[in-house]
Every structure is written in C-alpha cells, then in structure tokens.
Structure 1
Amino acid sequence: MDTDYKQQIIDKTIQFVRQKLEGEGSGHDWWHVYRVYKNALNIVASEEADEFIVSLGALLHDIADFKFHGGDTEVGPRVAREWLESLSIDENTIKQVEHIVRNVSFKGAKVKSPMETIEGKIVQDADRLDAIGAIGIARTFAYGGYKERVIYNPDIKPELHETFERYKNNESHSINHFYEKLLLLKDLMNTETGKKIAEERHKFMELYLQQFYDEWDGGK
C-alpha cells in the first residue's frame, strides 16, 4: 500500500469520524479525536511504529465509546471493522486497529488495560494525554454536566475501582474523577514522550485542585 493511498484512507476516515461525532457535547466529540490523532502523530515521531495503524487507531478509538452504548465494549471494534472493511483494508491491519479500539480505554484504577503493540501503546498514551491537563479538566466537567453529576460533594469520597463493572457504573461527583482516574494516568503512560508531556499536565491538575479547594472553603 503506497503512501498516497494510505493518506487517502486516512482522509476518508477523518471525514467519516468527523461526520459521526461533530457536535457531541460530553467531551468525546470530533475535536477530542482530532487532538488524540495529533498527540499520536507527535509520539510516533519518536517511536519505531507503523504510523498508518497509529493514525487509524487514533481516529477510530472513540467511534462508538462503551460509555454511550450501555457499557458494550465490542461496539467500537465492530464499527471500526465495518468501516475499514468498506475500504477494503487488509485483515491484519483491521485486527490491529480493532485491538487498539477494544483496549484503549481506562477501565478502573485496579483494572489493567494492556496493549500488545507499540502502535496501541502510542494511541493509549495519546488518548490519556487528552484526559489530563487543562483540556482534561474541561472535559471532566463537560462529561459531568452531560451525566447530570454535581461538581463536588465532600461527603462522597473517591473509590479506586477494582472491577470494570464498578467503574462503568460509577455515578460519583466530578472532582472524584480526578482521584479515580486523571491523577493516576501519569504513572500509566507507555512511551517516554507520553511520560514527559504527562508530567506537566499532571502538575497543572494538582494546582487546579488546590485552587478549587481554597475557593470551596472561602479562601482565595
């Protein structure tokens, strides 16, 4: 498959994903996918990996997120496969992209989400980077509003979920999400590039939380 043809496939996939997700209001919209795609291209430049598979995995990683399909973790891989088959993509590439889509998501503090390939690890890092820092904070509250969750309730403590079932059924307040997921991601990054970027975004979240608590208690 030559470079020009691969780019045509990527361009068609961009159009497909944008049409499907644009305007979604929970923080899992087209622009989230766009940022993950750009993050992934940044990371792959420092890794020995197949950029075509990384690109397709990043673009299709949230094409049908389990959070919006009754917790069904197979709907995303299925939609990704159907799209790639419609473009006559080879089976090996489809299987690799399916693996990425199936395993990319965080599923609980004590639940492993393994990636078998460097391509998958790159996309996973790229997705996790968009969950932390300034954009991650914005997305947390966008999703909390979408789910009609309160911003903060100091009487409800965070839970480090031991199973995916408990994690996906969690209905806690938005601030708890920092402790149940976002602040854990820095130490779960796979690549050196991902780790470096995550360090700065992690620090920003810690500063944000300190300011939040100061204001909550009538301080600064």
Structure 2
Amino acid sequence: MQTLVDRVAAHIKARFLSESSGHDWHHIHRVWQLARQIASAEGANREIAELGALVHDIADWKFHDGDDSIGPREAERLLRSEGAAPEIIAAVVDIVATISYKGAGVVTAMRTLEGRCVQDADRLDAIGIARCFAYGGHAGRLMHDPDEAPVLHQSAAAYKASKGASLNHFHEKLLLLKDRMNTPTGRALAEPRHRYMEEFVQRFLAEWNVSAGAGE
C-alpha cells in the first residue's frame, strides 16, 4: 500500500513534470530528497518534512499575481483529499505559508524544526545557476543589465514587484542564502554551492566585459 508521502509525490509529479520555469517536478524532487536528508540528520519528523517539501511550490505566489495565500490553501486541499491527519495538515500548511524568501530585509523565520529543514532544502536548490536563468527567461527578464544595480529589498511588496535582470538576483537573494540556513546540516551543504556560485558570477562578468584572460 502506498504511503501518504508516496501518494502526494505521485500527484505532484503528474502536475509539475512539464513545468518550464525551474519550479518543476525535478526541483521539487531535489528539495524532497534534501529535506529528507536534513530532517534525518537534525532529528526532525521526516513525514512532515517530506510532505512540506513535496507541496512547498504547489501554488507559488510568483505565478498567482503575488498572492501567497493560494499555496497554503492548495496544500491543505490536497492533503485533506489524501486523508492526512489534521495535525499533519496543520504542520505542513504552516511550512508552505512561511517558506518563501521575500527580500533581503524581510525575516521569514520558520516555527518548527521540520519547517527549518524544508526551508533549508528549498534554499539549497535555489543556490543554483541554471534555475535562476531558467526562471529569468520564463519571466522575460534580461540576463544582465550593467546599468541596473542590484536592490536589497526591504519589504515583501518591493521584492515581489522587482523585475530586475537575472544576474542581479544573485546579489539580491542567491548569494545571501548561505547565511540564512537554519540548520547545521543546511549550512554545511550550502558552503560548496555558495563558493561555486561566487566563482560563476566572477566568470560571467569577466566574459560579459571581455576581460583579458576570461577565455583561458
């Protein structure tokens, strides 16, 4: 018999397999596996962490006119339809409601250990070069605009309204995530990803500006 986690995973896979913005099944699957790994290392409830990871992008505000209430409602609807216990639903919905990054100056603290594990897993997969440019292309953003400086948004509204170039997103979010990890496991996993991303940005700018030695 399939477990609740298995049934939810099958539903999410079918729904997001062909999504093309970088918020697809493969992203969700990676976050699921990372959340499982982190939850095991940190002593969290794995079922709640895995379910939270599976539904964390079920209705991302970026695709619903900035409305961050749809995700929790969709997560609750799916879990209820799959017969999840009320306490499981409440814990997972709380994760979905709180997980999103909303700007450099905005605190998005998780209330539970399971939530912290899922948030770390999602942020680890966000420290990703390909996904950044995939979403930028999907959203019609420039790769880079040398005349546009990055903005460290101080409110969720400002962050949601931002239409900046993809490279700016590295400075506005991705390079900040290493220091926003919640767990020791998350911090350890973030270090090499962060270093790789720093090196990429330096290389990108060198090649963009046709600097001497960029092609060596």
Same fold per superposition (TM over 0.5): yes
Superposed displacement of residue 41, structure 1: 1.1
Which secondary structure state, in structure 2, belongs to the residue aligned with residue 63 of structure 1? Answer: coil
Per the alignment, residue 28 of structure 1 pairs with 23
CA distance in 1, matches of 2:82, 2:65: 28
Q: Which runs of 4+ in 1 moved over 4 A?
A: none
Question: Does 2:62 correspond to 1:70?
Answer: no
Residue 138 of structure 1: which of 110, 130, 134 is its match? 130
Matched AA of 2:149:
K
CA distance in 1, matches of 2:50, 2:199: 33
Per the alignment, residue 119 of structure 2 pairs with 124
Per the alignment, residue 115 of structure 1 pairs with 110
Matched AA of 1:216:
W
Superposed displacement of residue 216, structure 1: 1.2
What runs of 5+ residues in structure 1 fail to find an aligned partner?
A: none
CA distance in 1, matches of 2:34, 2:82: 25
Per the alignment, residue 82 of structure 1 pairs with 77
Per the alignment, residue 180 of structure 1 pairs with 172
Superposed displacement of residue 114, structure 1: 1.2
- Name the % identity: 49
Give the alignment's Cα RMSD to 1 decimal: 0.9
Superposed displacement of residue 19, structure 1: 1.1
CA distance in 2, matches of 1:87, 1:18: 15
CA distance in 1, matches of 2:6, 2:43: 23
Superposed displacement of residue 87, structure 1: 1.8
After superposition, what is the alpha-carbon deviation per residue over 1:63-102, rounded to whole angstroms, capped at 9, x for unaligned? 1101001111111110110111112211111111001001
CA distance in 1, matches of 2:208, 2:109: 38
TM-score w.r.t. length of structure 2: 0.96
Matched AA of 2:41:
S
CA distance in 2, matches of 1:150, 1:90: 45
How many pairs were matched up? 212
Per the alignment, residue 106 of structure 1 pairs with 101
Which secondary structure state, in structure 2, belongs to the residue aligned with residue 130 of structure 1? Answer: helix
Residue 192 of structure 1: which of 184, 192, 213 is its match? 184
Superposed displacement of residue 42, structure 1: 1.1
Which secondary structure state, in structure 2, belongs to the residue aligned with residue 190 of structure 1? Answer: coil
Which secondary structure state, in structure 2, belongs to the residue aligned with residue 11 of structure 1? Answer: helix
After superposition, what is the alpha-carbon deviation per residue over 1:145-202, rounded to whole angstroms, capped at 9, x for unaligned? 0011111011000000011011011000000000000000000000111001111100
CA distance in 2, matches of 1:149, 1:80: 29
Question: Does 2:208 correspond to 1:216?
Answer: yes
